[in-house]
Amino acid sequence: MSVELKVNGRAVTVDVEPRTTLLDCVRDELGLKGTHAGCEHGVCGACTVLLDGQPTRSCLMFAVQADGYEITTIEGVAPQAGELDVIQDAFCEAHGLQCGFCTSGMILAARSLLEREASPTVEDIREAISGNICRCTGYGQIIEAIQLAAERMRGQNAPASPSLSRTEAVR
Amino acid sequence: MKFGVGQPVRRVEDKRFITGRGRYVADHAVPGQAHAAIVSSPHAHARILGLDVSAAAAAPGVLAVLTGADVLADGLGGIPPLFMPQNAQGPFGYRTLRPILIPDIVRAVGERVAMVIAETPAQARDAADLIEVDYEPLDAVVTLEAAVAEGAPAVWPDCPGNVSFSLTHGDPAATDAAFAKAAVTVALRLENNRIIANAMEPRAALGLYDAADETYTLYATSQNPHGFKEMIARDVLGIPATRLRVIAPDVGGGFGAKADCYPEDALVLWAARRVGRPVKWVGTRSEGLMGDNHGRDQLVHAELAADAEGRVLAVRARALHAIGAYHFSAGVAPLLYSLRYIPGVYAIDTVDLETRAVFTHTSPLGVYRGAGRPEAIYVIERLMDELATRLGISPVDVRRRNFVPPARMPYKTQTGAVYDTGEFEALFDKALALADWDGFDARRSESEARGRLRGRSVAYYIEHAGIYNDRMEIRFDPTGSATILAGTHSHGQGHATAFAQLVSEQLGIPFEAIGYIQGDTDKVMIGRGTYAARSSLIGGSALKLAGDKIIEKGRRIAAWKLGVEPDEITFDAGMFVARSTNRSMHMTEVAIASFQARGVPEEFALGLSAAATYSGDVPNYPNGCHVCEVEIDPETGAVELAAYAVVDDVGVVINPMIVEGQVHGGLAQGIGQALLEHIVYDPDSGQLVTGTFNDYCMPRADNLGPLAMAHHNVPCLTNPIGVKGCGESGAIGAPPAIMNAILDALRPLGVAHLDMPATPSRVWAAIAAARRAAA
């Protein structure tokens, strides 16, 4: 069936089976592969997207249910192609990621937190990301990254120099 | 040096991950790809009497249904273990061969029985549900004690008793004598719980077959693409390895479970040939919990003998270690290490150690972060606390009396390890200070005022980092930039950054311009991948040796260009300088000159590149101390990590930010094992009870508390760059630290023993039982 979705500020129409999850729709119909399937049963948070700013498990929701919401995926976080937003930059600066698989969901969970709380405590941050499982980092540097992003978003600190760009071939 | 060794350089690989542009196997889509679903065994042990695939074959979108009979008909081989003890002058074990689809008898829940290939993933899954398998259930054993009990059902009829082999270390007679004269002995029965790596990226595989060239390409969630290639080509498909290319693109964590190939990796290639289309399989989390290799699952009876002052005289241990239904992957390795590192950091002159490899009707046990070292250190560190308790002395003193002192380095243990360096007592003191060990009483009083129990512990780990040789290459191009071709494989460890730091510093070339290639068997000549904390040692050292060769050749090229003899040329910080003149050339200029289209002397050959190999036959020995404080709510049994301090000796640090992440991540997995994680099979039916993330409890941000970290680094003496591993340390030190702290809190109530995981219900039950006993 045909569904109209608003994803990362763009209106799109997709033709999906009613049983298609929002996760599969975003990945396979829209080609936005930054949203990941980590458990398909709503526990790990790797598939987190924002619906009207709220972190949501895209694996637990049908695409047809997302009609009418503003959907933000990791691809919609940066202000411009090739740029990073403050949270993304802070994750790199503080080494808030290792394998990168949970990272999209973590950054979106952090964005939601920082939109409603400019000065979160460590406990606030733990709480906000406790629905997202990371197997690599032990969360310490993720928490530092979010603290750093919060600090910078409060304007107490200038962003670091633009991130490195260089050729790299791993695939 | 901004990007040099020791600097917290931002990772060059991060940008694609933080923008959602990583490319994991599941993200790859090739034209015409079909999708596979697996039918798994619902029984722990059953004979397949019949298999009706007709409804599935006729279902919408289905391209093929493949079964074990098809595997046999096509003459495909099974997957052997990576090695057996007999391959290394060890005892003879019962070698198994794991079929990629089971034709006759399933030996674990989750065994692969059939594969459906369809146009869409949903159609494949729908059709898989239509396959009817007629099973005759057979008796199964899933726990260690049941598997070795008299009359237990045999996993393999030719291996009655279910023991594949046993390994031993030490001198039983001397140990008996030491126990006989000991002032004190202690004994423990310890369960090392079965857990699982659970990388956040589930396994996946995409197979392509080119019928014109008869070549295969596999995109694999692999820590070790060359290992996959070798095994699939040689053992399963029976083709020359030249016809198989394996690509491990971005891989979302491994922790050992992705070190070797699984049935699906071969199945998608075979299916691609059968259906004439690329075939993709993406595992679910439940398939992973059921069908990925598990880790640990060991039962030990351990005893320790000491003199009246707490000096250890001897250790005796008898272990059962599960291997699951098959010897698979490097599943033998945990058994080897689980004995070899029982002496830990202590000078123990006499040991008598034995472990038996036990088949069970479960998923195979493989290597998982630490692979045997966590089991070994858990034994000795639990025994040390038991000894301290028995003697009424502090856990600090009992350890202090037994450390191997620096003066005895290099120190050879009774189990054959040779520690090159280690300042155990100095590091220990640093950890005690970091944790404010002496201020504990005040914190305990404060906890007690809130109705909480508080306990503490100090545990010391040592680990064996590095195994096998590997090859690294540095290859310049005509514009003068260099690319690293790595035999190792980063799946989160930041090699593209750390290795570039090493090369940038050694060769004096710009960090930003260094390229990095890994994970493609057509691009990298040979590699063994990444596991066993091997890559800093072996990859880093091989890169250093390759860099030495580059400098040596560069010296000759510079001499040619500058018109002097090569021995006139010195090299420092990227500059080749002709001593007798004021002339010099930068490494980049030398590299460009090496590619000149005319005039390059024939002896130089064209271009500038070098490969080198380094062997991990001599490992290194990271070590460190964990100090843990827990707070326990006696009404609920809930354990909270109130304070945690870690001091590590990881030798020379290449990138401290990456090291911190590795230690912290390992620690979280160790905390998970101690408090939360457990793969549970129903002992009667052999059903997997913990088949989702709702049942298998992963550590979350709110399970972890404050952590203080510091270093006491002693450069390793046995490798050219002084590094020690750091990836497995946290997972080794944390379990005994946490369990000993919990027991310290509970002993006053009469709780003498507890096994992992120390869940609230277990802790509560232990408290309740102790109270009943006291009443």
Per CATH, is A2-76 categorized as 3.10.20.30?
yes
Residue located via tokens 């920082």 = A114
Residues of chain A with pLDDT below 50 are 157, 161-171
The tokens for B313 are 């005289």
The answer to whether residue B7 is domain-embedded is no
- Does residue B636 share a domain with residue B518? no
Are B700 and A133 within 8 A, CB to CB? Answer: yes
Same domain, B484 and B600: yes
> One-letter amino acid identity for B709?
M
| Chain B residues closer than 8 Å to A71 by CB | none
Dihedrals phi, psi of B555, to nearest 5 degrees: -60, -40
Place of tokens 């199945």: B267
Nearest-angstrom CA–CA distance, B159 and B161 = 6
Q: Name the residue range of residue B365's domain.
A: 150-195+289-400
In a domain, B4, yes or no: no
For the record, the structure tokens of B214 come out as 């008869």
Overall fold of domain A86-170: DNA polymerase; domain 1 (1.10.150)
Tell me the C-alpha to C-alpha distance, in Å, between residue B4 and each of B1, B502, B506.
Answer: 5, 7, 9
Tokens standing for B303?
A: 């005893």
- Whether residue B117 sits in one domain with residue B210: yes
Classify residue B405: in a domain, yes or no: no
In terms of Cβ atoms closer than 10 Å to its own Cβ (0-12, 13-18, 19+), residue B55 is: middle
Alpha-carbon gap: B700 to the closest alpha carbon of chain A (Å): 6
- Token reading at B261: 């190939």
Same domain? B708 vs B688: yes
B642 in Cβ contact with B629 (< 8 Å): yes
Give the number of C-alpha atoms closer than 13 A to the C-alpha of residue B392, restricted to the C-beta side: 1
pLDDT for A160 equals 53
Q: Are A124 and A113 in contact (CB under 8 A)?
A: yes
Beta carbons of A100 and B250 less than 8 Å apart: yes
CATH code: domain of residue B37: 3.90.1170.50
User: Residues B300, B175: one domain?
Assistant: yes
3-class secondary structure, B300: strand
Instruction: Judge if B270 and B324 occupy the same domain.
Output: no
Mean pLDDT split into 10-residue runs, chain B, 775 residues: 89 97 97 98 98 98 98 98 93 97 98 98 98 98 98 97 97 98 98 98 98 98 98 98 98 97 98 98 98 98 98 98 97 97 98 98 98 98 98 98 98 97 98 98 98 98 96 98 97 97 97 97 97 94 98 97 96 95 95 96 94 96 98 98 98 97 97 98 97 97 93 97 96 98 98 97 98 92
The 3 state secondary structure assigned to chain A is CEEEEEECCEEEEEECCCCCEHHHHHHHHCCCCCCCCCCCCCCCCCCEEEECCEEEEHHHCEHHHHCCCEEECHHHCCCCCCCCCHHHHHHHHCCCCCCCCCHHHHHHHHHHHHHHCCCCCHHHHHHHHCCCCCCCCCCHHHHHHHHHHHHHHCCCCCCCCCCCCCCCCCC
Nearest neighbour of B27 by CB, restricted to A33, A132, A134: A33
Contact B18 A17 (CB under 8 A): no
User: CA–CA separation, B145 vs B147, rounded Å?
Assistant: 5
Interface predicted TM-score (ipTM) over 0.90 = yes
Chain B partners of A120 at a C-beta cutoff of 8 Å? none
Cis ω on the peptide bond leading into residue B410 (within 30° of 0)?
Answer: yes
CATH number for the domain including B297?
3.30.365.10
What are the extents of the domains in chain A? 2-76, 86-170
d(CA B230, CA B207): 16
* Chain A environment of B666 (Cβ under 8 Å): 138
Indicate the DSSP class of residue B45: S
Beta carbons of A91 and B14 less than 8 Å apart = yes
Residue B523: per-residue pLDDT: 98
Q: Is residue B3 part of a domain?
A: no
Nearest chain A residue to B219 by CA: give it: A171
Interchain CB contacts (distance < 8 Å): A and B: 219
Q: What is the 3-state secondary structure (H, E, C) of B547-580?
A: HHHHHHHHHHHHHHHHCCCHHHEEEECCEEEECC
Task: Please state the domain count of chain B.
Answer: 4
Question: Is residue B608 situated within a structural domain?
Answer: yes
What does the pLDDT read at residue A156? Answer: 58
Q: Say whether both B391 and B476 belong to one domain.
A: no
Q: Which of B741-763 are b and which e, b meaning 16 or more Cβ less than 10 Å from the residue's Cβ? A: bbbbbbeebebeebbbbbbeebb
- Rounded CA-CA distance B558/B64 in Å is 62
Domain boundary among B282, B306, B332: B282
Q: Look at A95 and B657 and tell me if their CB atoms are within 8 Å.
A: yes
**Bridge-partner residues for B614, per DSSP?**
B470
Answer yes or no: do B19 and A37 touch at CB < 8 A.
no
Across B375-528, where does the E strand assignment appear?
411-412, 418-419, 453-462, 469-476, 482-486, 515-517
Question: Is residue B536 classed as helix, strand or coil in its secondary structure?
Answer: helix
Tell whether B649 and B746 lie within a shared domain. yes
Evaluate whether residue B699 is within a structural domain: yes
Among the candidates B282, B312, B334, a domain finishes at B282
The residue out of B615, B647, B670 marking a domain boundary is: B615
**Cβ <8 Å between B199 and A143:** no
Tokens read off for B124: 């494949």
Contacts of B727 in chain A (CB under 8 A): none
The predicted pLDDT at position A155 comes to 85
Residue of A nearest to B496 (CA): A168
Q: Which residues in chain A are contacts of B26 at CB distance < 8 A? A: 36-37
Considering only the beta carbons, identify the residue of B122, B661, B693 that sits closest to A137.
B661
Nearest CA-CA partner of B375 in B167, B201, B680, B202: B167
Residue B137 CB contacts under 8 Å (≥ 6 apart), including other chains? B43, B45, B46
B294 and B377 both lie in a single domain: yes
B632 and B711 belong to one structural domain: yes
Return the DSSP state at B403.
B
Q: Hey, what are B556's tokens?
A: 């000759």
Q: What is the pLDDT of residue B619?
A: 96
